[in-house]
Every structure is written in structure tokens, then in C-alpha cells.
Amino acid sequence: MKKNYISISVSSKDLGKRIDLFISEKLDEFSRNKVQMLINNGNLTFNNEKITQTSIKLKKLGTLLLFIPELKPSKIIAQDLQLNIVYEDDYLIIINKNAGMVVHPATGNTDNTLVNALLHHCKENLSGIGGVKRPGVVHRIDKMTSGLLVFAKDDFTHNELSEQFKKKQTIREYDLLAWNQTPKQEGVIENRICRSKFNRKKMAITNQKDIGKTAITKYKLIKNYKINKYISISHIKCSLMTGRTHQIRVHMSHIGNPLIGDKKYSRNNYYTKLPDSLKKIVLNSFIMKERQALHAGKLGFFHPKKHKNMLFKSKMPLDINNLLSILKLY
């Protein structure tokens, strides 16, 4: 079977780390479980020696080769779903995703995803690095987040784009609406994020250096709207320096600015302090739909094949824009 591989250098600062943790930290597109599965199946070598144990620690310098088996025939159904295509060429495609659409199939969402739609639109022209369930997927945004995503049509483009994401060479800017005034006009949030030990469906900030992954978010307050003496709402722009699960949602909640509509990382009683007219809009458009007011509005990268910088922008969707229009009256 044909295989692709990813090369990872081990330096002196990496010594002592668990090999599965080290690889998952280096490769944002692979979860630790995915890395462990690949290792257990004999898809890892270190200095040309096969590694099959996930718990061993790095003890010397060298090069890891992680082999990615060729994509098996997909069992995912290609579906003729509407796609908002912002840009497309022979190597990649940019999609403006609507809130409510899942990026790729997973437990509980086996169809009606972006990948189902892309399999129909692109036919067989999607990279295989993401595996059977994630063909073409270079990065993701949450189901109830809207905005821009890039998908790769071949493995070279996929690897090159993934490397740019890993090296913080991309532009990923989000607009969001959050509760309360920000602690500063602008700032940088940097810490480690891991799975919550109390709820595995949530992420949490940890102070332990050997757990989780470093997460860095830049934020800038655009405007704070003082609704009344009890509550205010902030329009904030965030830029991702890393791409961890729920990163912006966790970080904004951490500094006291949970996103509107985000039940997972905020208290639900903020909206009760709103005037009735505004409360109704927030309830119906965001809280009841579990739609966090978060939009990936800007995406930039260097095109691996055309060798030029690409920058894409997406206007805020109707729900966020409508709420902003009302907030401007305050």
C-alpha cells in the first residue's frame, strides 16, 4: 500500500518528552489518539528504527518519520449540498461555512457535513492526509462557528499548508461578540489548553507543562456597548497564533469575556440583565440555537503551488450583523 510520510526533527529541547505527546504537539492536524493509533500500527520510525510503543520517551537527537497510510476508499457519502465557494483552483478550495454545519463526519454527524458536500463537488480531488473521514481537511472551526476554511486537493498542498499553520505563518482573524468589557484594549493570551478532567467534551486551561498544548490568542477590543448599569457587550477581533480546540472560546471566557450564545464556556444568566427587546434577539438567534457569536472573517496563507500570498475576507453573517446593528443604538 502506498504511504505518505511526515518528517519531524528531534532537538535537544525535546529530549525526555513522551513520543506520542511530542508528535501530537508538533502536528496540529493529528489528535493524540490518532498518533497513538498510527504508532501502534507500525507507522513510525526513529532514525530508521521502527517504533511501536506510544509511551517511550525521546532520549536522543534524530528524525522521526510518521507514515500516513494511503486513503482507503471513502465510505462517506458524497452529497449535493450547497457550498459557499469563495475561491477555487486545481490545488485548494476556500469555503465560507455557515453556522450549524459540521466540517467532517464524526459520531453523531455522519452526513450533511462540509466533507460530504466537497466529495460531491471535488469528486476524488481531495488530499488523503486527513484520513477516511477528513479528506482535504487542513484545519477546522466549530459546528456553530461561521466563516472561512481552506481545504487541500492534493497531499503536497495539504502538507505545505499544514506546515504554515504549525509555524504560525497564516492569518486567521475572527470577529466575535462577548459579554462584558475586556480587561485591556488589546492583549495576548498565552497558556496551555487540555481536555477538562471533569467534562471530556470541554477544554480547560492547565498550568501543568506536560499536559495539553500551548495556545496563543491575540485580541483587540473594537467597541464596548454599555447596555445598562448591569451589563455590556463587546465587539472583539481575535487572531489565532495557534489552533487548539475551542481556543478562542476558552481564552475569552478565561479573561472574563465569554462569547454570546456559548453555553459551554459561559454562565447562561448574562442575558437576563438585558432589556426585553435585546434579550429576545440574543435568546432566539444565539442562546436557544447554541450559536456562539463567532465568525472566521479573514484567512491568509502562502499558496504552495502558485507561490503567492493569498488573503480572503468574509462579511459577518446576518445574525451577528443584526445584533451589532442594534448594539450601535446604545
Q: How many CA atoms lie within 13 Å of 153's alpha carbon, on the beta-carbon side?
A: 17
User: How far is residue 316's CA from residue 322's CA, in Å, rounded to a whole number?
Assistant: 10
pTM, whole model, 2 decimals?
0.79
Instruction: Look at residue 2 in the predicted model and tell me its pLDDT.
Output: 47
Q: Name the CATH code of domain 173-296+321-327 (choices 3.30.470.10, 3.30.2350.10, 3.30.930.10, 1.10.3720.10).
A: 3.30.2350.10
Cβ–Cβ < 8 Å for 101, 93? no
**pLDDT at res. 73:** 56
Pairwise CA distance, residues 177 & 224, whole Å: 10
Name the CA dihedral angle for 43, 47, 53, 56, rounded to a multiple of 10 degrees.
-140
pLDDT at position 71 is: 57
CB atoms within 10 A of CB 233: 27
Q: Which amino acid is at 52?
A: T
Which set of grid coordinates corresponds to residue 146?
A: 461561521
Cα separation of 25 and 13, whole Å? 14
Cα dihedral 48, 139, 173, 220 sign: negative
**Rounded to an integer, what distance in angstroms lies between the CA atom of residue 62 and that of residue 111?**
42
In the beta sheet, which residues pair with residue 176? Answer: 236, 294
Catalytic residue among 80, 89, 90, 142: 142
Return the CATH architecture of domain 3-69.
Answer: Roll (3.10)
DSSP SS3 for 220: strand
Is 210 annotated as catalytic? no
CATH hierarchy code of domain 85-167? 3.30.2350.10
Q: Can you give the residue ranges of every domain in the chain?
A: 3-69, 85-167, 173-296+321-327
Give yes or no on whether 85-167 and 173-296+321-327 have one common fold: yes
Gap between the Cα atoms of 297 and 317, Å rounded: 10
pLDDT of residue 1: 43
- Indicate the pairing of strand 92-97 with strand 203-206: unpaired
Please give the average pLDDT of every successive group of 10 residues along the chain, which has 330 residues: 76 91 80 84 92 91 87 74 96 96 82 92 79 78 96 91 92 98 96 88 87 92 96 97 94 97 88 93 94 98 97 97 94
